[in-house]
Amino acid sequence: MPHEEEEPPRLINLHLNSLRRLHAEAMTETKTACLEKFKHAVFILC
């Protein structure tokens, strides 16, 4: 079963990378756009 144990960390890594990218993009956008992206990212994670 080692396969299944390796899966969650990789998925979490993908989410963290996505959040970092969204954060970087948000820095160049308005606060409204930033909030929308943040809400979208949180929704995906939950």
Question: Which pLDDT belongs to residue 14?
Answer: 84
pLDDT tens digits along 1-46 = 455 556 667 888 888 888 888 888 777 766 677 678 788 777 766 5
Question: Which pLDDT belongs to residue 19?
Answer: 87
Q: Domain coordinates of the chain in residue numbers?
A: 2-45
The C-alpha atoms of residue 37 and residue 15 are separated, in whole angstroms, by 13
Question: Distances from the Cα of 9 to the Cαs of 16, 20, 38, 41, in angstroms?
Answer: 10, 16, 21, 18
